[in-house]
Amino acid sequence: MMRRYGAKIQDGIVTEVLVLADGAKGDEALAVFGLVEQDGVRPGVGWSWDGSAFAAPAKTWGEVRSERDGLLAASDWTQVADAPVDAAAWAVYRQKLRDIPQDYTTPDDVVWPEAP
C-alpha cells in the first residue's frame, strides 16, 4: 500500500508534512488539520503549492557542488595505482563531475554523468 502525505500550507509554501493513515482516518486528518494531498507525491518542507500541485524548490549551486563533491570522494579509490578498475574511464567520469559548474547554466539543468 502506498503511503499518503498531507502538507500544511502557508502562503503557498509547505511548512509541515504528516504521514496520513489509510482510508477514512487519513481523510479526516486532511479535513481537521487543513492539509492538502497530491496522489503519489511526498512533498517536503519548503516546497511550493499552487492549489493543485506541489513543486520542489529549485536546486542551488551549493547543493549541486555538495552532491558532486560526495561523488568525487566516493570514487577517490579508483585513482590509486593498484585499483582493479579502468582508471582512465574513471578519470574521465571524475573530470565530467568537476566540469559540471561551468558546463551548465542553472543547477536544475545538471545531468549527472554515469559512473563507469
* H-assigned helices in 54-113: 61-74, 87-103
Instruction: Confirm whether pTM is higher than 0.75.
Output: no
At 1 the pLDDT is 57
Domain boundaries, the chain: 4-55, 61-109
CB 59 within 8 A of CB 47: no
Distances (CA, A) of 56 to 14, 46, 51, 75: 10, 8, 14, 29
Bridge partners of 95? none
What pLDDT, in 10s, does the model give residues 37-89?
877 788 888 899 888 888 888 888 999 999 999 999 999 988 888 889 898 99
Give per-residue pLDDT as tens, 9-51.
989 998 988 888 878 887 887 777 777 787 778 888 889 988 8
End-to-end CA separation in angstroms for the chain: 36
